[in-house]
Chain A
């Protein structure tokens, strides 16, 4: 039967991509349906109970700057907060939080249930309704049809999911959940390139069976960092520690002796796993000379004893898992609550997507999250928000929003995926962003909130707070610029002492702040008055300290901007462009880049090829004009 009412956007999947997609579309005012196979698992953290980290927190803050849920849920569910790289510069600092799974999930559920324009429905999705390469809706397991012209698929690891423990395997979407087999079959009929990826988890440990006195405690930072721009420490629940222990020679012997029972080494698993998140058997096999590896015991929550031993993800058989765990210091008597496993699943080649995350072949069909070959909650959430927003824009008949590489990590993520594709689960790192000094976690709001407001993603409360912050920064910059320190005054002498030589002329406070010897706190201490707002002070300081580098990157961006803005026609026949080598024609034909800038980032495409493309485009538009006038 047909569901009685129509929707503008249907989101399939209730993980991190699906919830951000549904929330974003609904915030933008279109009728949105979130379809999940199980309402109880909305916002579930399937892997380790942590949000953020290097590169990833940058995405979380961008989601936050666009009114998304992830950072706020983290502040409500976070039981330990740290800033990584705190001794390095602000561009590479990253906030990381351990989250209580239940609190996090509850926070997400609450936001979903209180979001106007959003309906939730529990039923697995089995089929898509597609008419003439245009999606029209979905069909659920029991044959119920929902109609909408924009559908966002966020299927995670569920598409034809296959769980491996040792040489045994069974179909599953996640431990305890069924896979989506019918939908996988259906999607494989579409003209999209499909592949298999693999990921894994470690066995979970009962904390009561662990001797923490033999491990190193890792508490959170004090004062406790917050994740959301509007978050506060007061929201945080009770804070707890993580624990660090190490594998040893005995652990490595056990693994080496049992490699033939690993589905990865016996060839049972075909999917490719992530290089940066290897299983413990992989680490020992590939880095045989390393005699110990770190293991982080992450608490799963405040109301459970379960621990997530990060660092020993494995798909070895259970008896080996038990031996491995019990060979590790402090876990000699550990009880395993849930066995570790590897999971293989379908993903679709992201090169078949547009910048909007809409598929190139089926209009109105958007993909977000692991279905695009990524890994990580943050990567999923960021894509979900973008896909949801673009699905809503499409429903409203408006142009898609496609953030560029120089605007957001979300832009880097999408551009990498759709330009280069991926051979392994794609994870964000700061080294992927060439404009790392501009794309900082601290300025995600300054980069994106205005755009988010324009799109309708940012509510009045967030917008007011943002405007106040932006004005505060401007005011403080002006004050520093117009406040002068003169030589031979008590202030001037104090500052000269800092520099190791007396001031020889007058300086404004901004000039002084640019010097490496002085930070904002010292400046205020020496000159008096300053802003009490931590975020404003931070912005003023970072902008001043990085000024030269930021200018240089801005110049680089400005230079490349034109080619980013030059669109390539979708129907361009690369084999007809004279001068392009066959190899480059093939590469361009495979990738079908949307802009000249994207074309230039395809490996092997030379500057000369870009020149030829430009000339071809110009010729096309010139002859087009001639035809029109004739």
Chain B
């Protein structure tokens, strides 16, 4: 049984900052991708040391390029291996480039699946692959869901909904020309299309995950004076960056530190303790702190677990949270667990609010915080990481955007509603990766409930 397959790509090495990271590509486009990225005609089964570069000549990484023509390869198809430097950001950029050159991101277990289907693995191994697919597709679904929580998810769903609305109008105009609803010519569709395109570019911008990974996530440490914010910065940085004293209000300006967790760049910002003060310098510090908080990707709200306020610090600071638009950006850090004897733990309540008990001074619980920060960046130690779930989403959004652009051109330049409809279908298919598919019957159902159709 030989199945014609599209080309798949994935990061093959375990996530983390290793010495070498490998991207594997399998399928008919593998050779074209080798040419595109490596700029050479690869010799089969030969290690080429190359610059991996984009079409515009920008070098992403350097490393070894190996091409294994099918059927003598791991999957039985043409296989390309790119061995570059192990940083997740570089690998992600490399992967993205493979996707741009015609591959799609592999589903979990898909390389093994192909190997099996092409008689490269024996029957005994098939069971293991089935288990892998089952387990990791569930994992992938969970990760996709997780990475879809919050504002991003709402935006994507709104976007999908507005695309469906648009398609209802376009399809209705095509399938029911005698119903006095020709939206294609009355400008209605163009308005809606403009809106969908605007929304999509906003979502893409907001998602900004690519930028986040490339440029690093900004984490602001905030809290009451003397909660141990500077200790936390020092603990994360692994060196004395901030002056730490027992005197509340020691940090009067913001301090920035650039650190890496397993190769993921983080900008950590320590801020002045938030309190009403008459000290002019400290006042400016508080203002700057608030500004930094507003610009943060993630806020670590530090409280002193030995202090009386620690019983319900979120309730204690409603004015702080009320002013911040995205409470899901906040992680609550209950510091000084060594003094309050609270157990070191990470708890997540049903709203997604995460609380971590730790001690910045003793270092207990810091690993929990590091893992949590990685999760926030969409980076997990699982087969199908949230990292790749997000890559999938971004890729889907970009594809949708390009179809919308194409459809827009068709409508504007040729007034071709049926071609716009085709591009919208493709855009929806791309978004279906994130939100699930919409069938033509769903669409017809929406048409019939929106318009009075039928003679």
Contacting pair A614 B3 (CB below 8 A): yes
- Whether, in the assembled complex, B443 has its beta carbon less than 8 Å from a beta carbon of chain A, the answer is yes
Query: B70-78, B177-185, B354-362: which lies at the A interface?
Result: B177-185
B174-200 CB mask vs A (1 if < 8 Å, else 0) is: 111111100011000000000000000
Residue of B113, B179, B422 touching A615 (CB-CB under 8 A): B113
Name the residue on B nearest A48 (C-beta): B455
Tell me which residues across on chain B come within 8 A of A561, comparing CB atoms.
4
How close is B445's CB to chain A, nearest CB, in angstroms?
7
Contacting pair A623 B455 (CB below 8 A): no
Assembled-state Cα–Cα distance A566/B452 (Å) = 41
Name the residue on B nearest A433 (C-beta): B440
- Whether, in the assembled complex, A89 has its beta carbon less than 8 Å from a beta carbon of chain B, the answer is yes
How close is B329's CB to chain A, nearest CB, in angstroms?
32
Contacting pair B455 A516 (CB below 8 A): no
Query: A10-18, A283-291, A315-323: which lies at the B interface?
Result: A283-291
Tell me which residues across on chain B come within 8 A of A578, comparing CB atoms.
127, 130-131, 134
Interface residues of A in 298-347 (CB under 8 A from B): 310-311
Tell me which residues across on chain A come within 8 A of B133, comparing CB atoms.
579, 608, 611-612, 615
Contacting pair B131 A275 (CB below 8 A): no
- Whether, in the assembled complex, A559 has its beta carbon less than 8 Å from a beta carbon of chain B, the answer is yes
CB contact under 8 A between A92 and B130, given known A287-B452, A290-B452: no
Assembled-state Cα–Cα distance A85/B184 (Å) = 11
- Whether, in the assembled complex, B247 has its beta carbon less than 8 Å from a beta carbon of chain A, the answer is no
- Whether, in the assembled complex, B417 has its beta carbon less than 8 Å from a beta carbon of chain A, the answer is yes
How close is A581's CB to chain B, nearest CB, in angstroms?
9
- Whether, in the assembled complex, A267 has its beta carbon less than 8 Å from a beta carbon of chain B, the answer is no
Tell me which residues across on chain A come within 8 A of B1, comparing CB atoms.
566, 617-618, 621
Assembled-state Cα–Cα distance A619/B119 (Å) = 11
- Whether, in the assembled complex, B419 has its beta carbon less than 8 Å from a beta carbon of chain A, the answer is yes
CB contact under 8 A between A618 and B455, given known A276-B448, A611-B133: no
Contacting pair A566 B455 (CB below 8 A): no
Assembled-state Cα–Cα distance A276/B402 (Å) = 33
B403-429 CB mask vs A (1 if < 8 Å, else 0) is: 000000000011011110110010000
Interface residues of A in 579-622 (CB under 8 A from B): 579, 603, 606-608, 611-612, 614-619, 621-622
Tell me which residues across on chain B come within 8 A of A278, comparing CB atoms.
452-454
Contacting pair B454 A277 (CB below 8 A): yes
Interface residues on A, range: 35 or more
- Whether, in the assembled complex, A91 has its beta carbon less than 8 Å from a beta carbon of chain B, the answer is yes
How close is A117's CB to chain B, nearest CB, in angstroms?
39
Query: A26-34, A396-404, A424-432, A498-506: which lies at the B interface?
Result: A424-432
Contacting pair B175 A612 (CB below 8 A): no
Assembled-state Cα–Cα distance A284/B418 (Å) = 31
Contacting pair A283 B454 (CB below 8 A): yes
Name the residue on B nearest A274 (C-beta): B454
- Whether, in the assembled complex, B51 has its beta carbon less than 8 Å from a beta carbon of chain A, the answer is no
- Whether, in the assembled complex, A250 has its beta carbon less than 8 Å from a beta carbon of chain B, the answer is no
Residue of A85, A433, A615 touching B126 (CB-CB under 8 A): A615
Tell me which residues across on chain B come within 8 A of A84, comparing CB atoms.
177-178
Name the residue on B nearest A91 (C-beta): B418
Name the residue on B nearest A279 (C-beta): B454
- Whether, in the assembled complex, B6 has its beta carbon less than 8 Å from a beta carbon of chain A, the answer is yes
Name the residue on B nearest A559 (C-beta): B6
Contacting pair B418 A92 (CB below 8 A): yes
Interface centre among B131, B413, B439 (most CB of A within 10 A): B439
Name the residue on B nearest A280 (C-beta): B454
- Whether, in the assembled complex, B107 has its beta carbon less than 8 Å from a beta carbon of chain A, the answer is yes
Name the residue on A nearest B451 (C-beta): A287
- Whether, in the assembled complex, B109 has its beta carbon less than 8 Å from a beta carbon of chain A, the answer is yes
Assembled-state Cα–Cα distance A296/B454 (Å) = 11
- Whether, in the assembled complex, A482 has its beta carbon less than 8 Å from a beta carbon of chain B, the answer is no
Contacting pair A431 B113 (CB below 8 A): no
Tell me which residues across on chain A come within 8 A of B179, comparing CB atoms.
294
A429-463 CB mask vs B (1 if < 8 Å, else 0) is: 11111101100000000000000000000000000
Contacting pair A88 B418 (CB below 8 A): yes
CB contact under 8 A between A89 and B417, given known A276-B454, A559-B4, A579-B133: yes
Measured CB to CB, the residues of A under 8 A from B are 48, 54-55, 84-85, 87-89, 91-92, 274-278, 283, 286-287, 290, 293-294, 296, 310-311, 416, 420, 429-434, 436-437, 516, 546, 549, 553, 558-559, 561-563, 566, 578-579, 603, 606-608, 611-612, 614-619, 621-623
What are 27 residue pairs bridging A and B, where the CB atoms are less than 8 Å apart in the complex?
A85-B177, A88-B177, A89-B418, A89-B419, A92-B418, A274-B454, A276-B448, A276-B453, A290-B452, A293-B452, A294-B178, A431-B174, A436-B421, A436-B422, A516-B413, A516-B414, A549-B422, A553-B422, A559-B4, A562-B4, A579-B130, A579-B134, A603-B439, A612-B130, A616-B130, A618-B1, A618-B126
**Which 9 pairs across A and B sit closest by C-beta, in order of nearness?**
A608-B137, A579-B134, A287-B452, A275-B448, A89-B418, A310-B455, A562-B3, A277-B454, A562-B4
